[in-house]
Amino acid sequence: MTAIQKIKGTNDILPDGFGEEIFRSSLWRFAEQTMTDLALRYGYAEIRTPIFESAELFIHSVGEETDIVRKEMFRFTDRGERDLVLRPEGTAGVVRAWIENKLGAHDPVSRLFYHGQMFRAERPQKGRYRQFHQFGVECIGGADARHDVEVIMLFWDLLQTLGVKRIRLEINSVGCAHCRPQYREALKAHFASSLDGLCADCRERYDKNILRMLDCKNPACQEILCTAPAMTASLCAVCAAAWQELQARLTALHLPWTANPRLVRGLDYYTRTAFEIVHDSIGAQATIAGGGRYDGLIGASGGADTPAVGGALGIERLLLAMQSESRTPPAAPVPEYCFILLDENCESQLEEALYALRARGVFAMHAEGSKQIAKQMRAASRLGARYAVFIGGDEWQAGDVLIKDMQSGAQKAYPVPPCGLAAFLLEHFFGETMRRIERGL
Ligand code: ATP
Ligand code: MG
């Protein structure tokens, strides 16, 4: 049988030494750990929602006229005839869970973060996949520009922490239900005479969701769309004040922002702040993170009217950015001791010591694969072990254990005390650790 291959647009995340650099599990673990630590430090608690939810949830909260709902959802009917979708984004599920589990019952502001797979039926290319991963945060109940800044700062800080420096922050305000209708009219009037030059999608958006038109990726459309009037010029007084405050707060924190009048979120639920963090050298899929305020969503989803702001970062794009800036994760841990078996009759003693060390938190391995010492030694050095421990042979028979420092090549025989090999190695390990600490290593 020909071997079955992975589905187009999905990726295996593999051990070091295999596959593309950005799909190494050590890098993912490092990025996910850094994100988790940072989000916890900002007071965000983790939430994990199901990977599939009702189609209705996404149609309602992402919006019928968005690309995600129109073209990109993996939608299926299960055996009970339920209409389901593999989640294309995180906010809808988090908001559902927040309402359903009454997460707002105790605190006025719920700070939540998540990371995991998302699914969109898009044309796969570098930085764009059908199964991809996002890290996202939602600050539910956060009503002020202060909360917008907190969310933006969290992503900015994360990228800095991971050594991604060549980034830009773009911001915009999409106004609110009071001021957006006039802006829509202004856009309609502005583009009425240039519709012929726009793509079919844009012409459809012109009628159904004109704001979304601004976000078209087609270069020919962009040339026409860049003449659009800015939303920030027609904000109502409340939105204008929030827009000014956002800028002032970002400037006070030395965040180098630029206003991008074409930055939009597609739906009426999305209000005021929209932001993106863009990287300069990861190619066409340059937006690493994006988000904004969605004051209307929770009320429109069956919850009490609650303001909120959030954002999401594409982990694959983050790793591409790290790669383009030559950032690598810290070296993976290596075994402290690697056992080399010289005599098969001694295997039970080896196993006993191996598991006793592991039980005490010491990384120990048995170099497998061959009875030949040379091959076992090569395996130990491939693993990067600090010490090789020889079990069996003449020294062993005489009551000694031979330990070889894999870096210096020096080896020494130690008498095994009555308390046994594992106890001896533990003492050896703590002695070595102390010496390393003293030497500042
Ligand atoms: P794009 O304009 O690139 O399609 P988007 O506006 O659809 O992005 P969001 O829904 O705002 O993206 O998702 C936030 C982030 O998730 C994006 O900035 C990007 O880093 C990542 N992302 C979105 N879609 C994909 C995908 N298909 N593959 C990989 N990453 C993605
Ligand atoms: Mg998209």
Instruction: Say if residue 314 is in the same domain as residue 368.
Output: no
End-to-end CA distance of the chain: 52
Whether the per-residue pLDDT at 411 is higher than 80: the answer is: yes
The percent of residues in the chain predicted with pLDDT above 90, rounded, is: 76
CA of 53 to the centre of ligand 2 (A): 19
Atom of ligand 1 nearest to the CA of 318: 20
Q: What is the mean pLDDT of the chain?
A: 93
User: Average pLDDT for residues 223-239, to the nearest whole number?
Assistant: 91
pLDDT of residue 66: 84
* Residues 138 and 43 grouped into a single domain: yes
Determine if ligand 1 sits within 6 Å of the CB of residue 314.
Answer: yes
Ligand nearest to the CA of 62: 1
| 118-132, 261-275, 309-323, 336-350: least confident range | 261-275
* In a domain? residue 201: no
Considering every ligand atom shown, identify the ligand nearest to the alpha carbon of residue 290 and give its number: 1
- In-domain check, residue 306: yes
Q: How far apart are CA 290 and CA 270, in angstroms?
A: 13
| Whether residues 63 and 175 fall in one domain | yes
Ligand 1 atom with the smallest distance to the CA of 136 is 14
Judgement on whether residues 298 and 416 belong to the same structural domain of the protein: no
122 within ligand 1 shell (Cβ under 6 A): yes
pLDDT at 50: 98
User: Which CATH number do you get for residue 290?
Assistant: 3.30.930.10
Residue 274 lies in a domain: yes
Whole-angstrom Cα distance, residue 243 to residue 409? Answer: 65
114 close to 90: Cβ distance less than 8 angstroms? yes
Instruction: Look at residues 275, 302, 324 and tell me which one is the last residue of a structural domain.
Output: 324
Total number of domains in the chain: 2
Q: How far is the CA of 94 from the centre of ligand 2 (A)?
A: 19
Output the CA 326–ligand 1 centroid distance in Å.
Answer: 23
Spatial distance between the Cα atoms of 297 and 411, rounded to a whole number of angstroms: 67
* Within a domain: 105: yes
Q: Any idea which of 95-104, 181-190, 350-359 has the lowest mean pLDDT?
A: 181-190
171 and 270 share a domain? yes
Give the structural domain span for 430: 337-434
Is the same domain home to 243 and 367? Answer: no
* Confidence (pLDDT) at 240: 96
Pocket test for ligand 1, best of 117, 134, 262 (most atoms within 8 A of CB): 134
- Cβ–ligand 1 distance for 72 under 6 Å, the answer no
Cβ–ligand 1 distance for 120 under 6 Å, the answer yes
Q: Whose CA is nearest to atom 6 of ligand 1?
A: 290
- Answer yes or no: is the C-beta of 312 below 6 A from any ligand 1 atom: yes
How many angstroms does the Cα of residue 437 sit away from the middle of ligand 1? 44
Task: Verify that 255 and 366 share a domain, yes or no.
Answer: no
Q: Residue 88 domain-assigned?
A: yes
Q: Please check whether residue 198 lies inside any domain of the structure.
A: no
pLDDT tops 90 at residue 332: no
User: Mean per-residue pLDDT for 303-324?
Assistant: 97
Say yes or no: 295 and 349 in one domain.
Answer: no
- Answer yes or no: is 9 within a domain: no
Give the confidence band of 23 by pLDDT, cuts at 50, 70, 90: very high
The CATH number of the domain where 402 resides is what?
Answer: 3.40.50.800
Listed residues 296, 324, 352: the one ending a domain: 324
Q: Is the pLDDT of residue 436 over 90?
A: no
Looking at 277, 292, 324, the residue that finishes a domain is 324
Tell me if 140 is assigned to some domain. yes
Question: What average pLDDT does range 383-406 have in this prediction?
Answer: 94
22 ligand 1 Cβ < 6 A: no
Is the predicted pLDDT of residue 217 greater than 90, yes or no? no
Confidence class for position 236, pLDDT limits 50, 70, 90: very high
Asked if residues 275 and 291 have their Cβ atoms less than 8 Å apart, the reply is yes
Quick check: 345 pLDDT over 80? yes
User: pTM, whole model, 2 decimals?
Assistant: 0.92
Residue 218 pLDDT class (50, 70, 90 cuts) = confident
Structure tokens at 427: 């003492």
pLDDT tens string 138-173: 999 999 999 999 999 999 999 999 999 999 999 999
184 lines ligand 1 (CB under 6 A): no
| Sheet with 52-54, side-by-side order of all strands | 52-54, 83-86, 74-77
Q: Are 258 and 365 in a shared domain?
A: no
368 and 314 part of one domain: no
The reply to whether 264 and 346 lie within a common domain is no
In this prediction, residues 215-238 reach a mean pLDDT of 89
The pLDDT score that the predictor gives to residue 31 is: 97
* CB contact at 8 A, 319 and 158: no
Q: Phi and psi for 303 in degrees, rounded to 5?
A: -95, 175
Beta carbon of 375 within 6 Å of any ligand 1 atom: no
- Average pLDDT of 410-433? 91
Q: What's the 108 CA to ligand 1 centre distance in angstroms?
A: 30
- Per residue, the 3-state secondary structure of the chain, as one string, reads CCCCCCCCCCCCCECCCCCCHHHEHHHHHHHHHHHHHHHHHCCCEECCCCCEEEHHHHHHHHCCCCHHHHHHCEEEECCCCCEEEECCCCHHHHHHHHHHCCCCCCCCCEEEEEEEEEECCCCCECCECCEEEEEEEEEECCCCHHHHHHHHHHHHHHHHHCCCCCEEEEEEECCCCCCHHHHHHHHHHHHHHHHHHCCHHHHHHHHHCHHHHCCCCCHHHHHHHCCCCCHHHHCCHHHHHHHHHHHHHHHHCCCCEEECCCCCCCCCCCEEEEEEEEECCCCCCCEEEEEEECCCHHHHCCCCCCCEEEEEEEHHHHHHHHHHCCCCCCCCCCCCEEEEECCHHHHHHHHHHHHHHHHCCCCEEECCCCCCHHHHHHHHHHHCCCEEEEECHHHHHCCEEEEEECCCCCEEEEECCCCCHHHHHHHHHHHHHHHHHHCCC
Comparing 273-277, 324-328, 366-370, 409-413, the range with the smallest average pLDDT is: 366-370
Residue 268's pLDDT band (boundaries 50, 70, 90)? Answer: low
| 291 and 426 share one domain | no
